[in-house]
Amino acid sequence: MKKYAVLLLILGVCSLGYGKGKSSRNKSSNSCTSNKIIVNFKNNTATYCENGKKKVVKTEGSGIDGDDWQLEEVDGVSLFDENNPRLIFIGR
């Protein structure tokens, strides 16, 4: 009788977790899958997906020695190619 009670308890706990959306299938749906690169000129960032994760990089800045720098390409795409369909520009 104890075995059945423990088995029912385990099944109940597992079904409660599954009902709340805690499944391995649900975790993979949160991964980043877009191939677009969003360039935001207001805060000088570029956002893109890399290995299923969202990545944000700065497009302009100053080095330690005070030299200014500008990012030229993200994920193999030139940020200056305005005709590329992967690029989305914000804040121009």
Q: pLDDT by residue (tens digit) across 68-81?
A: 889 999 988 999 99
Task: For residue 17, give both structure tokens.
Answer: 């977790």
Q: Is the pLDDT at 51 greater than 60, yes or no? A: yes
Segments making up each domain of the chain, as ranges: 1-29, 37-90
- Collapsing DSSP states into helix, strand and coil, what is residue 57? strand
Global pTM reads: 0.61
Sheet arrangement for strand 37-40: 53-58, 45-50, 37-40, 87-90
CA 23 to CA 34: how far, in whole Å? Answer: 23
CA-wise closest residue to 77 among 44, 48, 42, 43:
48
